[in-house]
Amino acid sequence: MLDLHCHILPGVDDGAADEADTLAMARVAVATGCRAVCASSHLYEGLFSTSADLLETEHANVVRLLAREKIPLEVFPGAENFLGPMTAAEFAEKAVPLGPGRRYVLFDFAMDELVPHVGEAVEALARRDRVALIAHPERNRVLQADPRPVAEWIAAGARIQVNAGSVLGRLGEGALHSAHGLLEAGAVHALASDAHGVGKRRPFCLDAGRDAAAEIVGPDGAERLTRENPWRIARGEPVEAGPVSFDSPRGGRFWKRLLGGP
């Protein structure tokens, strides 16, 4: 498997604190079935003192560190770009893409509100021949109440990454129900751990998340979310988006109740 979203770089954000943490995380990633990860540290002006140059330097250091320790884990470059108050055009210009393909841009936004220019950011990235990969929308409280903007973003070209921990119920009831509803609706294109460390609330757990997702989308669907699509994303290849329905007999059960349907 390939885990597209983790905070394995040491000392740059709220993930691995130092090289010892990085090594511990890498060993757990391998033990839970990952052959590769994207080092997607926060790129968030005003909260962490990160920059594109810093992430590039630390990524190279981690690649050398794992080679020296003979840990069989590929680490690709990337970032978890934060969509804050900057304009969509500024965001698209500054965003750091994922993987060797450098086409997909992983980004998140505030968890307590829905910033109004997510769709604009999706379109601004597309104009630069990049694809928005929206991180863990199931954790956003507005989207937990009404997921319909997610379908609009997918129609505009975005792809959706849900946290394995949300599917497992480790990130709260709201995230659990939202993640399951998005999976049922066909609105998820990749699972990732969003791992921040070993023994923390967000560890590497892609294997367990895959198995839990398989109960909803079937074994083949779960493999697609943890193996096929992540590798396509890392290589910069197209990822098919099927129909998204919050009203289907299976996919709409949770959302129909939530949105007041029969």
Instruction: Give me the DSSP letters along 89-150.
Output: HHHHHHPPPPTTTT-EEEEE--SSS--TTHHHHHHHHHHTT-EEEEE-GGG-HHHHH--HHH
pLDDT higher at 256 or 229: 229
Distance (Å, whole) CA 198 – CA 146: 33
For residue 44, the model assigns a pLDDT of 83
Q: Is residue 131 within 8 Å of 104, Cβ to Cβ?
A: yes
Domain that holds residue 185: 2-258
% of the chain residues with pLDDT over 70 = 94
pLDDT score of 248 more than 90: no
Among candidate residues 53, 46, 44, 52, the one with its CA nearest the CA of residue 15: 44
Mean pLDDT, residues 248-261: 50
Beta pairing, strands 80-82 & 74-76: unpaired
pLDDT in tens, 84-95: 999 999 999 999
For residue 17, the model assigns a pLDDT of 95
Q: How many residues does the chain have?
A: 262
Q: Which residue has tokens 């992540």? A: 230
- The structure's pTM equals 0.94
First to last CA, the chain: 39
CATH number for the domain spanning 63: value is: 3.20.20.140
Tell me the pLDDT band of 251, cut-offs 50, 70 and 90: very low
Distances (CA, A) of 69 to 22, 76, 77, 158: 11, 17, 19, 37
Run of H or E including 254:
helix 253-258
Q: Which two tokens stand for residue 162?
A: 């849900």
pLDDT score of 258 more than 70: no
For residue 95, the model assigns a pLDDT of 97
Mean pLDDT, residues 17-31: 97
pLDDT in tens, 112-157: 999 999 999 999 999 999 999 999 999 999 999 999 999 999 999 9
Q: Which two tokens stand for residue 142?
A: 């507005």
For residue 250, the model assigns a pLDDT of 46
For residue 252, the model assigns a pLDDT of 47
Q: How many domains does the chain have?
A: 1
pLDDT higher at 47 or 70: 70
For residue 123, the model assigns a pLDDT of 98
Residues 6+ apart with CB under 8 A from 80: 5, 7, 40, 41, 42, 43, 44, 106, 107, 108, 135
Distance (Å, whole) CA 260 – CA 262: 7
Mean pLDDT, residues 227-240: 98
Q: What value does the mean pLDDT of the chain take?
A: 94
Among candidate residues 152, 155, 150, the one with its CA nearest the CA of residue 135: 150
Residues 6+ apart with CB under 8 A from 114: 140, 142, 143, 149
